[in-house]
Amino acid sequence: MAETYVTTAYERLQIAHLRWRKRLQKWISRSREKVSFVLIPNDEKPLAQIEISVGMLGFLFGLSLSLVLLSFGLLLYFSFFFERNLSLEKKTETQLVSFLFYDLLSKDLRESVEELESMTESLNLLAWEEIPEKEMITQDYLLKEEFRKDASELDSNLLLFQQVVTTYTQFGVRLGNLVPNFQNAIDYLSMRESIFYSMPRGRPLKPGVGVVTSTFGYRSDPFGILPVGEYHSGIDFAAGEGTPIYATGPGIIAVDTAVGGLGKSVRINHENGFFTLYGHCSQILVNPGDRVKRGDKIALVGQTGKATGAHVHYEVRIGLDAPLDPEEYINLD
């Protein structure tokens, strides 16, 4: 009886390996075969031939088929199976609106900061005639205290966003409070500046011209008529007849220029209730209603009216109040 040979598992594995190896070599051999594509142009140009291996052609076909199937699967999924997350979309829209709001707010704050810096510079120049270095209140100054925190405190981007929004809101509130304060300060100093420049200042004669012969207050009667003396309501500057007299502040020439024993006189109505008188003039160079500036020539020194010599009598008054000592306003210069 003949013996039957039985293959072992190892031998069967080797046989299968050889078969698959042979098939793979055969497939590789076939994949290396070239396929030619001929392109025929419409004009008389020569034909174009493209050669591509069968393996590459199969790879490209498989890739294209995979992309088509994937696109078709995605289309089916989004058309029939995908469910929109409305809460997430609403939250996203809310965050978008919030970011847009803070973007607009940042533009407004930047404009406010620039305006505030300009106003601060004007305030410093107006008040102290200089700009102190590194003392202007700016955005850097307001924010540097807000972000002095360890990075470990920010556990997530959400906390970072909340911190930025909180700081931004506080900065906007503080800046909003600063703007009217600075505006009020500027308005106040501007008003004081306006009052100062509208006030009579300096002498009615040029510097170095004329001598003070009588001051403000009680004095003996220069004519010897009143034994108890008299109250002198201004300052007298003696000068040669015809010496120019100048306005000590801007204003309007009053209609009535005749004031008692002052002879030919000029009255200038200034702003804020001030007015000045220039008496004993030999000639008046302005007319009622004329608007004059500080330093304009308004009259010439004389001795008209009750006078013992050529001089100008200078008075400073506010409304119907008693006359003021002109020396205080002369010394403002």
- pLDDT for the residue numbered 265: 92
Q: What is the pLDDT of residues 179-188, one digit of tens each?
A: 777 777 777 7
Instruction: Give the amino acid at 120.
Output: T
Give the per-residue pLDDT at 225.
Answer: 61
At 296 the pLDDT is 94
**Ranges 114-118, 124-128, 223-227: which has the least confidence:** 223-227
Range from 144-153, 209-218, 233-242 that averages highest in pLDDT: 233-242
- The fraction of the chain above a pLDDT of 90, given in percent, is 22
Domain ranges of the chain: 106-196, 211-328
Name the residue with higher pLDDT: 319 or 316.
Answer: 316
Q: What is the pLDDT of residue 240?
A: 92
Rounded mean pLDDT, 165-181: 73
**pLDDT class for 230, splitting at 50, 70, 90?**
confident
Half-sphere exposure of 164 (CA within 13 A, CB side): 11
Supply the pLDDT for residue 61: 86
Answer for the pair 217, 315: CB distance below 8 angstroms, yes or no.
no
Q: Which of 153-157, 175-179, 301-305, 314-318 has the lowest mean pLDDT?
A: 153-157
The yes-or-no verdict on residue 145 having pLDDT over 60 is: no
Of 238, 250, 215, 244, give the one whose Cα is nearest residue 325.
215
Banded model confidence at residue 146, pLDDT cuts 50, 70, 90: very low
Q: Could you please report the per-residue DSSP string of 215-271? A: -SEEE--TTS--TT-EEE-SEEEE--TT-EEE-SS-EEE-S--B-GGG-B-EEEE-G
Rounded to whole angstroms, the Cα distance separating 259 from 276 reads: 12
Q: Give me the CATH code for the 211-328 domain, please.
A: 2.70.70.10
Burial class for 139, CB neighbours closer than 10 Å (0-12, 13-18, 19+): middle
Can you give the pLDDT at residue 238? 93
At residue 196, the 3 state secondary structure works out as helix
Say whether pLDDT at 148 is over 60: no
Q: Please, which pLDDT band fits residue 134 given cuts at 50, 70 and 90?
A: very low
Mean pLDDT across 183-210: 84
Dist CA 274 CA 287 (whole Å):
19
Tell me which of 16-30, 56-70, 316-330 is least confident: 16-30
Q: pLDDT (tens digit, 9 = 90+) per residue, 263-315?
A: 899 999 998 889 999 999 999 999 999 999 999 999 999 998 888 889 999 99
